[in-house]
Amino acid sequence: MYNLSLSQQFLMFAVNKQGKISSLDTRTWVCCVTSGVIDLHLNDCVSISDEKHPTVSIAAELPSTLHHLLPIYQRISEKGPIKLNKLVEQYMMGRSGPRTQLFDALGNSLVAAGAATPQVSGILKRSTGYVPDSHNLDRLRSAINAETSSTDAPTRNTVILATLLERSKLLKEYFSRDERARIKDMVKKHADSQADTLIKKTIAHIDALITLLITSASVSATQS
């Protein structure tokens, strides 16, 4: 269970009771796609330039352990080098295409790992959700709580996962008020810290993408 990647772990928290993410939930979709890019970056598969508007490019072959991120990896390979915001933006347009490919790849990888169950729905039974195993989801939740309560420094994965959950406003679905307060304190501490620049930059990327793409989605909705 703990061998799941960051993006797989995030998806387990992100889906609703039907195992899906609402097509209108821009904030969660931004975090979902971003978690995949972060996974690729942390595993040295892609590089992210150090500039105000970072560019993503392929750095190494995709390992079999991250095969569920092939949709993002291939898109970077075909389009790259590509601006990070432009990459994530491509997954915000429409209800199918790249978004569905990534969602199904992540969902099927959870099914293969025994961490979720597929659930078919819709009038034509063409829509598949991926319902997380409650026991495994609770283990993830407990692991986050354990690290935020410990005197030891949390792992990068926990800090970034907690950031994604906090920024996507999912914490209240899984954590008590006191637990949320500890998690938010941890995220703020690392967002302001100079000790781990990778985490600091990653949190900055997440915040910038959410602000930009939610604003863009709001403008589009107003104009339509």
Domain boundaries, the chain: 6-223
Task: Please tell me the predicted confidence (pLDDT) of residue 1.
Answer: 44
Separation between Cα atoms, residue 104 and residue 107, nearest integer Å: 5
167 within 8 A of 31, measured Cβ to Cβ? yes
Separation between Cα atoms, residue 157 and residue 138, nearest integer Å: 17
Task: Please tell me the predicted confidence (pLDDT) of residue 30.
Answer: 93
CATH architecture of 6-223: Orthogonal Bundle (1.10)
Task: Please tell me the predicted confidence (pLDDT) of residue 216.
Answer: 65
Strand bridging mode 55-58 / 116-121 = unpaired
* pLDDT tens-digit series, residues 130-145: 999 999 999 999 999 9
**Cα end-to-end span (Å), the chain:** 43
Task: Please tell me the predicted confidence (pLDDT) of residue 220.
Answer: 47
b/e sequence 58-89, b meaning 16+ C-beta within 10 Å? beeebeeebebbebbbebbeeebebbbbebbb
Task: Please tell me the predicted confidence (pLDDT) of residue 9.
Answer: 98
Residue by residue, DSSP assigns 130-197 as EEEPHHHHHHHHHHHHHHHHSSSPPPHHHHHHHHHHHHTT-HHHHS-HHHHHHHHHHHHHHHH-SS-H
Separation between Cα atoms, residue 169 and residue 174, nearest integer Å: 11
Matching residue, tokens 């994530």: 88
130 φψ region: left (φ > 0), alpha (ψ -120 to 50), beta (else): beta
Q: 48 has which bridge partners?
A: 56
7 within 8 A of 69, measured Cβ to Cβ? yes
Q: One digit per residue, pLDDT tens: the chain, 224 residues?
A: 458 999 999 999 999 999 999 988 999 999 999 999 999 999 999 999 988 889 999 999 999 999 999 999 999 999 879 999 999 999 987 666 899 999 999 999 999 999 999 998 766 666 789 999 999 999 999 999 999 998 888 999 999 999 999 999 999 999 999 999 999 999 999 888 877 888 989 999 999 898 888 776 554 444 44
Task: Please tell me the predicted confidence (pLDDT) of residue 218.
Answer: 52
